Structure 1
Amino acid sequence: MPTPSARDRILDTAARLFYRDGYRGTGIDRIIAESGVAKMSLYRHFPSKNDLIVAYLESRHDYWMGWFRDAVTRRLAARGNLDIMADALGEWFATEDFRGCSFINMIAEAGGGAGDDPRLLAQAVAHKASLEDFVTGIAHDLGLSSPREVAEEAMLCIEGMIIRYQTTHASSVIDAGRRTLGRLHAAHSAA
């Protein structure tokens, strides 16, 4: 296996630290030390910490959306109901390093306007729009009425589950999400 490039080592290290310790709690010097690159190398690839955060969020979006699509699609074959999204989230919640949604965490740390860099808020908005589009597609494929409205309501449940589980680590969050998404499915199913 080839040795990862300096850029990849920086991004991998930043991803691990940002997700585990937060954006504010992770300093550039720590990323440099743990990635084993020179300061000049970091700044050549990422001129500012926010540039590194943007690159991390892009990478996280691609990774997480790919994972979620796969997790939902696997479950749809067995049970064609919106409630399978709760089970997919439960799989994520059960991972050892679960720390919530990177995008929600970033907004919480930087403030509603994502601090002084509009790219950060734009990343979060784009991620959530992509997730909502995916859920809309699932609702459409399941033959539910008003797929966009279903997705809007499902997003409230999905986001709420993530926050609730992040704060409580209670398995009842998954059960409640499953019930809520199941009722939403039933309300929009053809009679």
Structure 2
Amino acid sequence: MSTTSIRRPARERILDTACELFYTHGIHAVGVDRLIAESGVAKATLYKQFPSKDDVVAAYLRRMDDSWRRQLRSAALAAGEDPREQLFGLFVALEQAARAGTLGCAFINAVAEYDPGSTAHTITAEHKANVRDWVRGLAAAAGATDPGMLAFQLTLLIDGTLAATRVERAAEAAEAAKQAARTLLDSACAGPA
């Protein structure tokens, strides 16, 4: 048997397909039949792996959470060892993503389709809180006078930029966010960067 004939596990194919379709078209716009057809699995296989579409949505959001937080950490580390520059590095990466044609924030896109209390809404709220907590830690290490407020401001700026790139697909939004982030960091953190 050749290695080209080995297929990825059905669960991974379904999730890969869901990630692409949900992010590109929206969750409610993609039905189970389309997921089945485009992932190349039987209906019974999909339901064996994910008992409901909500289970697919939850797995999609958890994968996006892992991916986005990994991207944020990589961007921070790429900016160097100074926590203040790591915070600014988030906006450099955001600008690069905007120029590459991002479709916005998967979580903002998803939560727009669901009511509070739903699984998608709950996972999104957890994701946003976890990112903000991580940014708060960087802000504290950077010497921010109010790390919680700076983290809130910076994460709002990130979310707003991602929303703007979805609506306008404008790299200018990311550049403006980068400039605003620098101003916030200069104002909130003691000493030179």
State TM-score, norm by structure 2. Answer: 0.88
1:33 matched to 2:37? The reply is yes
Distance 1:68 1:110, change over 3 A: same
Unaligned runs of 5+ in 1: none
Deviates more, 1:50-59 or 1:169-178: 169-178
1:88 matched to 2:93? The reply is yes
SS of 1:94's equivalent? helix
The 5 Å alignment of 1:4-153 reads 4-77=8-81, 80-81=84-85, 82-96=87-101, 98-111=102-115, 113=116, 118-153=118-153
Letter in 1 for 2:32: I
How far apart are the structure 2 equivalents of 1:31 and 1:174? 33
Letter in 1 for 2:128: K
How far apart are the structure 1 equivalents of 2:59 and 2:83? 36
How far apart are the structure 2 equivalents of 1:158 and 1:119? 23
> Identity of paired residues, percent?
34
The size of the alignment, in residue pairs, is 186
Unaligned runs of 5+ in 2: none
RMSD of aligned alpha carbons: 1.9
Deviates more, 1:84-93 or 1:55-64: 84-93
- Deviation string 1:19-75 (CA, Å, 9 cap, x unpaired) is 111101111111111111110010011111111100111111001111111012202
1:3 matched to 2:4? The reply is no
Q: Indicate conservation of the 8 Å contact 1:83/1:177, yes or no.
A: no
How far apart are the structure 1 equivalents of 2:11 and 2:169? 34
Q: Indicate conservation of the 8 Å contact 2:98/2:170, yes or no.
A: no
| Cα deviation, residue 170, structure 1 | 2.1
How far apart are the structure 1 equivalents of 2:189 and 2:112? 36
Letter in 2 for 1:57: L
How far apart are the structure 2 equivalents of 1:160 and 1:173? 9
Deviates more, 1:74-83 or 1:119-128: 74-83
State TM-score, norm by structure 1. Answer: 0.89
- Deviation string 1:120-144 (CA, Å, 9 cap, x unpaired) is 1110001101110121122122222
| Cα deviation, residue 78, structure 1 | 8.1
Deviates more, 1:71-80 or 1:59-68: 71-80
